[in-house]
A = this chain, B = another copy of it.
Amino acid sequence: MNLAIHPETFKVACSGCNLRELCMPIGFNLDDMKRLDEVVATRRRVKQGDLLFSSGEQFTSLYAIRTGFFKTSVSTDDGREQVTGFQMAGEVIGLDGIVSDHHNCNAVALEDSDVCVMPFANVEELSREFPVLQRHVHKIMSREIVRENSIMMLLGNMRAEERLAAFLLNLVQRLHARGFSQSELVLRMTREEIGSYLGMKLETVSRTFSKFSEDGIIDVKQRYVRIVQPDALKKIFNPDVC
C-alpha cells in the first residue's frame, strides 16, 4: 500500500496544505487564500482511542482531518452504540453540533490523528465575506445529508453481503481519491465497528468477509483487504446495473 500523501510535507496554513482541495474550496487568488487561512485557529493532535469531542460537549468548532482516521457514533442510554461514520484526511467533522450548540455524537480517533480546529464563528464570518466558502460549507453539510440517506437505504433495505460490498467500495473509492490504491486497503476499524456502522453483528461481518474471500472476490487477512474482483463487489451491491 503506497502512501501518496506524506505527512511531513504538510504546511501549517490551508493555502499551503495539500489537502486543501478536499476540505477547502478552490478558485481563490493568493490574497483571498491568506484570508482563508484565518478559518483555522489551531491544530490538535488526537491519539488513537482518544475522543476529539463527545456527545453533550459544548460545540465551538468544526474539525478538518489532516492526518489520521476517525469514527463518529451515537449511543442510547442503555449503552447501545451506533457508528454513524468513518472519516479520513480532508473530511470535516462536528457538523452535528451546530443545531443545539452541543455535540450530538462522539468522535474517536482510530489512529493517531491531526486535525485543524476551525472555530465555527470564524467559519460563519468568513462565509459571509467569501461566497465560495459559504457555498463550500453548504455543500459539505448537504453531502453529509446525502451520505446519511444512502446509509438509511443500506440499513433499511439491503442484506449483509450488499452492505459490506457497499462499504468496501465506498472506502476504497475515498482512499483512491487520496492517492492510495484502488484495490488494497488496511481497515482502521474492528469488525465490531464495521458491524455497528452497517447494522450487523461482528460475527456476521466476519462471515461475510470469509464468504467474499471463498468466492475469490477479495483477499482478507485480518485488517488487510485486497479487492480482487471489484466488478463482482459492484454486482453484489447493485445487481441490476453491473
Which A positions have Cβ atoms within 8 angstroms of B?
74, 76-78, 80-82, 84, 95-100, 104-105, 124, 127-129, 131, 134-135, 137-139, 141-146, 148-153, 155-157, 196-199, 238-241
- Judging by beta carbons under 8 Å apart, are A238 and B155 in contact? no
A84 nearest CB across to chain B (Å): 5
- Judging by beta carbons under 8 Å apart, are A199 and B156 in contact? yes
- Judging by beta carbons under 8 Å apart, are A143 and B199 in contact? no
Copies of this protein, total? 2
Q: A80-B157, A138-B124 are in contact. Are A152 and B149 (CB under 8 A)?
A: no
- Judging by beta carbons under 8 Å apart, are A145 and B96 in contact? yes
Q: A146-B99, A155-B155 are in contact. Are A78 and B138 (CB under 8 A)?
A: no
A108 nearest CB across to chain B (Å): 15
Q: Which of B78, B95, B155 contacts A142 (CB 8 A)?
A: B95
Q: A98-B142, A124-B138 are in contact. Are A152 and B151 (CB under 8 A)?
A: yes
- Judging by beta carbons under 8 Å apart, are A196 and B78 in contact? no
Contacting residues, chain B, for A143 (C-beta < 8 A) = 99
- Judging by beta carbons under 8 Å apart, are A82 and B157 in contact? yes
- Judging by beta carbons under 8 Å apart, are B156 and A196 in contact? yes
Can you offer 22 A-B residue contacts whose CB atoms are under 8 A? A77-B240, A77-B241, A80-B157, A81-B157, A96-B142, A96-B145, A97-B142, A98-B141, A100-B146, A104-B146, A105-B149, A124-B134, A124-B135, A137-B138, A141-B142, A145-B145, A148-B148, A148-B149, A151-B152, A152-B152, A155-B155, A156-B196
